[in-house]
Each structure stands twice: as C-alpha cells, then as structure tokens.
Structure 1
Amino acid sequence: MVERRKSKDLRSSRWFAAEDLRGFGHRSRAMQMGYDTDDFLGKPVVAIINTWSDINPCHAHFRNRVEHVKRGVLQGGGFPLELPAMSLSENFVKPTTMLYRNLLAMEVEELLRCHPVDGVVLMGGCDKTTPATVMGAVSMNLPMIFLPAGPMMRGHVNGKIVGSGSDVWKYWAEKEAGNISEGDWRDIEAGIARSHGTCMTMGTASTMTLITEALGLSLPGASSIPAGDSAHPRMSAACGRRIVEMIWNDVTPSTILTRRSFENALVVHNAIAGSTNAIIHLIAMAGRAGVSLTMDDFDISARTTPVIANLRPSGAWLMEDFHIAGGTRALLNVLSPFLHLDEKTISGRTLGENLVGAKVFDNDVIRPLDKPISSIVGTAVLFGNLAPNGCVMKPAAAEARLLRHTGPALVFDNYDDMAKAINDPDLDVTPDHVLILRNAGPVGGPGMPEWGMLPIPRKLLHKGVRDMLRISDARMSGTSYGACILHVSPEAHVGGPLSAVRNGDLISVDVEARSLNLLVPDVVIAERMSSSSSPPPSSSRGFAGMFTRHVTQAHLGCDFDFLEGVEILPEPEIH
C-alpha cells in the first residue's frame, strides 16, 4: 500500500507554501487572478494541457471539455490550471504535423517543468497530439492521464455510411476514372465529416488512443467513446477526479510503463490493423520511458496476433460501431490470452481488473480470436538491400496479388515531380510497375509527410487498376490503404539505398519472406550511392533547421537525438 502524500510533499508547495518573499509573490499573483489561498494552498495543482484551437476540427469540443475536466478536479479537491499547447491540426498544417510532433512534446515537458503543477491531464487525439503530449509528460514523469478526443460520428452520403480518409481515397479514384460527377463529389465533401472529433476510421488518431489506453495511461474504455457522446464529458470529469487521487498517491508514468505494457500495446496495434504511423510513435514513446522497442518487435507480435477489429480501412465498420459493439474494453477482453493482464494502469487497478464484465455485443465488429477479418497480418516489417534498417507495410489493406511481386521501378525524386507526371496520359507505366517516391523522409521531407500512398496513374485508373506496389521513405495516413511500403530506412536524403534506384530496375517484394530488394548487383548499388547527392535542406533556420539536424531515422522513432532515453533534470530554481 502506497503511503498517501502530505500537502508539504506537493511539488506546487515549493511555489505557494513557502513563507518568504517569493512565496508571497506567487500567492499574491494568484490572488490577482481572483483566487483565494483556500483555492490552491495545500491542494494538488493539476495542469490541463489543452490542444484546442480554432483551426482543429478534431478538437473543437475541447473548449467545453476542459470545463468538465476542471469540474472533476474541483470535485476531487484539487486546483485546475488550463495550459494551452500547440494544437497540430492534421487537416491544415503544412507540410506535415509530423514536423512538429517533437516541438509539442518539448512544449508539454517544459510547461510542466516550469509551472507550479503536481500532475497533468493531457487533452489530445488528433494524430500527433497523442504521442507528443504523452512523450513530453513521460519525460517529465509527473502523475498524468491522457484524455482522448474521441472519434467523430459516421459519415453519410446518399444513404451510404462513409468513413473519413479511407472512403475519400476510393471515391477520388472513381472521380479520376470518370465514374463520379462533380455534384456527387460535392455531396461527399459535405457529408463525410459530420461532427467534431477525430477520424472515425481506424486511422492514426484512434490507433494511438487505443494504444495509449493499452499502455495503461487512460481511463478504462475512454479511447472508444465518440466525441459527441454524452459519456465523453462524463469521462472528462472522471479524469479530473482521478488525477487528484493519483497525485496524492504519486502514481507517475514510471510506475506504469514497463516493457510488458509496451508489449500489450503491440498486441492491440496488430489486432486492430492499426496505422503504420504508430510504429514510429510507439518506438519514440518507449524511448522516453527507457524501454527499448524495435521494428522486429512489431513484426514478431504481428505474426501471432489475429486482426479482430473489423474496421476501415482494413475492414468494414467505423469507430462509432466499434464503441457500440463494446469498445476498447471488449476488444482487450477478447485479446486477454495475448496480454499481460497484471500490468498496472492509471485507474489504480491492473489491466485485467479493468476488463472485468467487458462484453462484445457485435461479433462482426469485434471478432472472436478464431474468426479474424483476414488471415493476413495487420503489419509487416520488411528488410533487404533497399531497407537495411527496415520498412513497414499494412498487408491486410493491400490487394493480395501484390504481396509477392517483382516489377520495374518508376522513380520520382520529389513530390512535385510525381504530382506533375502521374496523370500524364503518355506516362510509360503499367500495372506491374513499382512506383517509388524518395527524398520524403524525416530529413528529406522535412518531417516525413504523408505522401506514401502515391496516386494510381490516371491512365491506369481508366483501365480499372485500383492498387499498385508503391515504395517510399515517407509515411501515409492511417486511413489510407493499398500496397504501400513506407518508412524505408535509412531514407534517400541521407544516402540510403533508395537513392540508388533507377527507372527500369527490378524491385522484388515478398511479404511472407519479409523481404524488399533491388535486383541490382551490390557493387552497382554501392557505386550509385556513393555518386548520388542529396538536395539541400528546405530550411536551415528555426525549428525546421533544428529538426533536420537532430531528428533520428524512422526505425528509431524520429525523436530528437538529444531527447532519447531517460534523464531526470533538476527542478527549476524558484527565485
């Protein structure tokens, strides 16, 4: 039994309880804002990191949800302080929010370090805000709870249920093929995103929030609650109440996160055929917790974990259906044989205890272990002379014929060249070609944009082709699908083997054998690599310059080299 902390042990007491001139200053300035010493003195001070902004539709409801969190903190006997942080709107930030994930992680860590707070509720969900806020809070190691934004409502177009991202790509292919009118396209545009909240497909947002709950960092069942459900504000208030209790009992991330809790996250990632982006994020999150996680770990878990969440883009349903079918607790309960159920969670109970009474109400949405949605693995990690440090693919979302394929390369050195050429009716391309985009990785992008789902050439769309083998050192949206091989490491921009590919070279892919190879003699590859030159960085100033100088490669999580591992920094001096 952990001994309950005393008021004098609270970190915030260093600011507010000291009987000196600085203590006077801190208390008087709090009173300047209309607070009384009874509001904050001797009580846990809870930071609420709110990633709301006017340009983030996924977090539009956070402006209200923060009030529910505050209510819960006050009910629990704490003092809430909202600290706004960078919003990272996936829909609007250019060139990619991935460029700024580490910036938000640094902001969260420093917000917590420099302010008089004892614990934190992290409000995130839109793709990079989940790993970023968790990374920063784990590095600071104060008591923390992650509050997921929740998925939006199902989309509806002409009586059909549609999902963000996944169905957009499919309808766009039909539009490019001439099968959809402009009027139909406008109807889709108006009906596919009907409420606040994150993508309702199993994209990066829901993948990361489910993983975070599997790690034990969210309240049980929180990650599947739709943003517009009345259970969401109730869950938000519960986060506020629980964080106060966690502060008194000193429940920090270091007491929750272990190698075994990350193994639980791997199981969940593969069972949901989760976003390939999660590989980068989870490796980075593990690194902040001092846990070594590799690409091989993902593949080993994938080989033994059945894909049982029947959710788009790999399956049929959407997140609202998943929640109604039993949600995250039901999924975890089905996966119990693969999980370490004795791992601690922020609820104060073990993972297994959190699952007592969880039931599946729709066996098609959440399948039994013996009836997976596919016999194909959710994630595959490939190695070979094109990717000595690995690359990733989502086989369950690809056409089966492309899982073992050899074809000639069609190479694009950058996104603009690809975009100009791909719809040229004279483009020399066949369905057997392997489309390659390079110089789009962590440094080359910069920030590794979601360009990896290269569009099918228009001339092939007209012939009925809907999938091709595509390879890049970029990422792709978690809502995307197709035979896309991503995160090739090391990237071309830093001299990786992808820089050695020439048009017409044969590329061989064998997903079962986990191999990706350029069928060119090694001596030729080495000669080409030594003679290739990278384009200059897009920027050498500001954050982008710092990013390109310090970001690690995809197989290491794309964290900054100076933030890897665990380092307990001294508390700030109070002057």
Structure 2
Amino acid sequence: MADKKDAPHHPAEATGMTRGLTSYGDQGFSLFLRKAFIKGAGYTDEALERPVIGIVNTGSGYNACHANMPQLIEAVKRGVMLAGGLPIDFPTISIHESFASPTSMYLRNLMSMDTEEMIRAQPMDAVVLIGGCDKTVPAQLMGAASAGLPAIQLVTGAMLTGSHRGERVGACTDCRRYWARFRANEIDQDEIDDVNNQLVASVGTCSVMGTASTMACIAEALGMTVPGGASPPAVTADRIRVAEQTGTTAVKLAKSRLGIDRILTPHAFENAMRVLLAIGGSTNAIVHLSAIAGRVGHKIDLDTLDRMGKETPVLLDLKPTGQHYMEDFHHAGGVATLLRELKPLLHLDAMTVSGLTLGEQIEASGPGFAQTVVRAFSQPVYPQGGLAVLRGNLAPGGAIIKQSAADARLMEHEGRAVVFETVEDLMQRIDDEALDVNADDVLVLKNIGPLGAPGMPEAGYLPIPRKLARAGVKDMVRISDGRMSGTAFGTIVLHVTPEAAAGGTLAYVRNGDRIRLSVRNREVTLLVSDDELQQRAAQTPIARPTAERGYRKLFLQSVTQADEGVDFDFLRAASLQNKPPSA
C-alpha cells in the first residue's frame, strides 16, 4: 500500500466543485469558501451540483482568427446546459501567427503550460479547448494531454475568401503569390494595397491548407472533435451548431470519464499522419504531432511517416497543393468525405470523443455525394503524400520537404550553396544586386532552428533574390533548419536536424559547397568529405545559446529538436525523458 504522503491530494472520485480543492488545511472549509465566492456570481446550489465543464477562452483583440470566440462560447455553454452540465469559461494565453515576436512557435510551449496548469488548478470534469490559429490548437492539445482530464477540441473555423479584380483570393497562399509578384515588379504599389484589403475577407483562420486548417483536420482525425468539426467556416451557422454539439459532447465525456489518453493512442496518431499526407498538409503539423504524442508517451517516427507517404496520395484539391479553399472542402462534406476514401488505410478501431470508434463514425456519416474537391483514390492530386522525409549527412536526424507543393524540375537537383548565416544576414543581402547567385544555386539559411532563432521561425520560405525574381525565376532549392508556413509553396527543405546552433552539419556549410537533393532517394547531402567537415567543426566550435533570465532562459535550456516536437524536455511524458534524441 502506498504511503499517505504518496496518495493523491484529492480523492479520484471527487467531481464538480469538489475537485482540486484549494489547500487551506481544512477541506470542508475549502469547499464552503469556494461555493460562497462563486455564489457571488449568482449560482444556485442546484447549478453547482452539476458536472462542471471548463471552456478555454482564447479571445484576444490581437487575434482575428479567434474573433468569433464570444459566439462560440455562448453556443458551447448552451450545449453544456442542454446536456445537464455547468459551463464555466476561463482565459488563457492567445497567440496569433502575425502578432507574436519573434515567432508564435516560441510561445507555443508557454501556452501549453498555461493550458495544462489552468485545467489542473480549477475544478472541472471535462474541458472544451477553443482555438484556431496555427499554434493554439497544438498548444491546447499538448496541455490537455498532460493534464489528463476528458477533453474535446473546438476549432474557430476558417475565414471566407475575398475577391481581387475578379479573382478569388484568400490568406495566405495568395498573400505570398501576390507578394512575390510585387517583388518581381509585376504589379505596382496600388495593386498590392488593393489585394491587401481582400486577402482576409472575414474573421477566422487561413482559408487554405495552412497550419491552422491542417491542425483542424488532424484534430478531427485524432478523434478530438465532434464529427464534422474541422471544416465549417468561422462565420457560418454550421460552426455555431458544431460549438453547441461540442458542449453537449463534453458533458457526455465528463459523465463517462473517457480520458484523453484513450483517444490519443498510437493508432490515432497514425490516422492523423494519414490525413496529414492526404490533405497535402502543413510541414509544421509533423512537429506539432510529435509534441502532442510526446506528452502521452508516444513517438512519431519519421521513417513511418515517409513509408506512409509512399502509399498515401494527396486527395484534397486545396491550395497550396491544389486550387480550392476550406469553404469548398466544407461544402464537399469535409473530413468525412476524405476519411471514406482513406478507409482501407485507417485504424478504424480508434476511439473518438463521440464515444464511437472512427470506423463507426465514418459509417454514421453516410455514403457521401458527388463532389470535386476530394479526389478518388484512383485519381489523386499528387501520387504520393504531401510530405517526404529526407536524410543524409546534412540532416542525419531528418528533414522535411512538401513535395506536393514543389517544382518537379528541382526534385532531383545538385547546385552550389549560397549561404546566409542568420535571418539578419538574409535580409541584408538577399536583394543585393552584387549577390553572387543564379537560378541553379541552393539557398541555405542557418540558425533559424529551435535554439538558433530562437523558436524556429517560419523563415524557411526564403525569398527568391530580387534580381532573379525580376528575371522570371519562380522557384529555387532552399534549405534551412527552420519552418515555413503551411500556406507556402516551393522546393524547400525544412527542419534540418540537428540544427546549426546545436552543432549540426548545416553549421559548417560554406559558400560554393555542392549540395545534392534527391527526393526520389530521400536524400539531402552536402558533397564535402567527412574529414573536411571534421576540420571545419574543430575550427568553429558551436556553443549552445543562453539567456540571462525569464522564459527565454527556460526555452533555451529545455527545448528539444524538431524530431521531438520542439517541446520542452521536462514536459514530455516520463517514459520519454532522459532518452537520447534520434540519430
């Protein structure tokens, strides 16, 4: 029998307002005081006897992706009360991709800690996680996975598309396309100003298959949303109905005590990887999946991802891989339509928050209907999965390329390295007319990994040098230890592991070195001898970056590499701690 000192602070059967009582040395008084204060908000004893459903409120004036938060919270509360629960919303950190310096990824782990601790600290029997912008959904799933309570994800939904001079546009693949045209002097200042007003036509997340849409689809594939929860746009009645259903389902989760660990299983993560590949999803998602899996003691194996990619084609015709937008995907039936096509490759026994297995949920969604957004397995958008895993002396721990959004001519390529040591170096020299660069070269950017930036910013989408852009160059091979937005496109090698700041081979690449990229052979190789690389390493020792204080100090001390999710080492499940990273 365990020592009393080792026993849980509160009994496992505690529910509702009796959960996690504040420590005053007298539990009866703790509950008495708690009820007294919450009654100050007008609650009755009858209300306080119901299952408590916490609702994470990530509304923020800086976060237009979450601007529909008040309506979503109202609908969730309605669903909770219809099912006999007591809804209580509470705030956490909110991160927007375009308003976080130096990068939202730097703050993702902080948001996950905030989410976890607030779930632990406050009495609730289940929690509804409301997020949408790129890093918010993974942060919430990471935090909830660590907290261990029954949990359900509600995404805020994608924005609507706009129209620029008769052309349908949406953030943010079209943002990058028009900016590239502006840099190449193909359009003028007036037109770039005009398109800026149309790219984001409503509140909500990016309308293409960027990281936000990818994580929405992955959350549904993991079984963490209600059926159909990924695709309804932010400003639609469908999104509000999903919110109400989410509240109702949360009460069922609380009553059944269906813990998040029963949802986030190895089979669920494999299903999520299948969906990621089939939607041509964001490269960022594999980092986030690794982090979420690490919280529950599982590991995302890049070789497994690559094997799956060879047998899982891209079926979703959505930008940047295809032509459509998220609202079109919703009209085509959403994730359920995709799951029907993928059914032979899925683990149908995986449990979902609905209480049904994934297979049962697919059957309940019906036979589907004719549409053109999700292709048949026999007529894919791209014959393999959107992502491929590369290895070689330049990336012994792996690197990622979004092959479905790359230029086929450059997938087998050898070129001369044009090296930028930092983002600042890139910004100072990329448009210099004197830069020694041509279209066949390989642009290399160092020190934008988890440690190097810090925070692994989305600077891996290196711009085409202005003088080449003006000459009509649309794509080049680009390599870095950073990330790029899921809305971006091009022949871009990312997440090079180990990163330069951790002493990876990337740190020792010099101008003029030859680099070979072979997506067919899954290879990215620096054509420099091992002896020469050892000499360079001896001449240029790498010191791990440090900071004096605060969150930055914690980040630099504890962050892992891309293949382990860029999470903090001490937040991973105990079974994964103190294990060496993959080679």
TM-score range, shorter chain: over 0.9
One-letter identity of the residue aligned with 1:222: G
- Partner residue of 2:238 out of 231, 239, 245: 231
The residue aligned with 1:570 is: none
Contact conserved, 2:170 with 2:201, CA < 8 A, in 1? no
Give the Cα separation in 2 of the matches to 1:16 and 1:445.
Answer: 41
Once the two structures are overlaid, the 10-residue window that deviates more, 419-428 or 484-493, is 419-428
**1:141 has 2:151 as partner:** no
The residue aligned with 2:445 is: 437
The residue aligned with 2:475 is: 467
Contact conserved, 1:495 with 1:532, CA < 8 A, in 2? no
The residue aligned with 1:117 is: 124
The within-5 A match list for 1:321-332 is 321-332=328-339
The residue aligned with 1:283 is: 290
Contact conserved, 2:309 with 2:384, CA < 8 A, in 1? no
The residue aligned with 2:38 is: 30
The residue aligned with 2:379 is: 371
Deviation digits for residues 359-388 of structure 1 (CA, Å, limit 9, x no counterpart): 554543100000001225410110000001
Contact conserved, 1:552 with 1:561, CA < 8 A, in 2? yes
Instruction: State the secondary structure of the residue aligned to 2:570.
Output: coil
The within-5 A match list for 1:493-504 is 493-504=501-512
- Partner residue of 2:327 out of 314, 320, 324: 320
One-letter identity of the residue aligned with 1:282: L
One-letter identity of the residue aligned with 2:336: R
The residue aligned with 1:82 is: 89
Once the two structures are overlaid, the 10-residue window that deviates more, 406-415 or 529-538, is 529-538
Once the two structures are overlaid, the 10-residue window that deviates more, 122-131 or 356-365, is 356-365
Identify unmatched segments of 5+ residues in structure 2. 1-10, 576-583
One-letter identity of the residue aligned with 1:306: P
Task: Evaluate the alpha carbon distance shift between residue 228 and residue 471 of structure 1 in structure 2; reply closer, same or farther with a 3 A threshold.
Answer: same
CA RMSD of aligned residues (A): 1.8
The within-5 A match list for 1:282-361 is 282-356=289-363, 357-361=365-369
One-letter identity of the residue aligned with 1:305: T
- Partner residue of 2:115 out of 91, 108, 112: 108
One-letter identity of the residue aligned with 2:374: I
Q: CA deviation at 1:8?
A: 6.1
One-letter identity of the residue aligned with 1:12: M
One-letter identity of the residue aligned with 2:522: R
The residue aligned with 2:537 is: 529
Once the two structures are overlaid, the 10-residue window that deviates more, 334-343 or 122-131, is 334-343
Give the Cα separation in 1 of the matches to 2:244 and 2:316.
Answer: 29
Task: Evaluate the alpha carbon distance shift between residue 543 and residue 350 of structure 1 in structure 2; reply closer, same or farther with a 3 A threshold.
Answer: same
- Partner residue of 1:129 out of 136, 147, 150: 136
Q: CA deviation at 1:60?
A: 0.3
Instruction: State the secondary structure of the residue aligned to 1:321.
Output: helix
Deviation digits for residues 430-478 of structure 1 (CA, Å, limit 9, x no counterpart): 0011000001100011000000000000111111100000000010001
Once the two structures are overlaid, the 10-residue window that deviates more, 130-139 or 362-371, is 362-371
Identify unmatched segments of 5+ residues in structure 1. 1-5, 568-575
Instruction: State the secondary structure of the residue aligned to 1:223.
Output: coil
- Partner residue of 1:561 out of 526, 545, 569: 569
Give the Cα separation in 2 of the matches to 1:474 and 1:529.
Answer: 21
The TM-score, its normalising length taken from structure 2, stands at 0.94
Q: Aligned residues: percent identity?
A: 45
- Partner residue of 2:555 out of 544, 547, 564: 547
One-letter identity of the residue aligned with 2:503: G
Give the Cα separation in 1 of the matches to 2:61 and 2:257.
Answer: 35
**1:57 has 2:85 as partner:** no
The residue aligned with 1:406 is: 414
The within-5 A match list for 1:111-260 is 111-260=118-267
Q: CA deviation at 1:186?
A: 1.1
The TM-score, its normalising length taken from structure 1, stands at 0.95
The residue aligned with 1:273 is: 280
Deviation digits for residues 290-319 of structure 1 (CA, Å, limit 9, x no counterpart): 212121121111111010001100111110
The residue aligned with 1:571 is: none
- Partner residue of 1:20 out of 17, 28, 35: 28
Give the Cα separation in 2 of the matches to 1:502 and 1:358.
Answer: 57
One-letter identity of the residue aligned with 1:40: L
Contact conserved, 1:446 with 1:538, CA < 8 A, in 2? no
Q: CA deviation at 1:11?
A: 5.4
Deviation digits for residues 177-204 of structure 1 (CA, Å, limit 9, x no counterpart): 1110111111110001011110010000
Give the Cα separation in 1 of the matches to 2:12 and 2:540.
Answer: 62
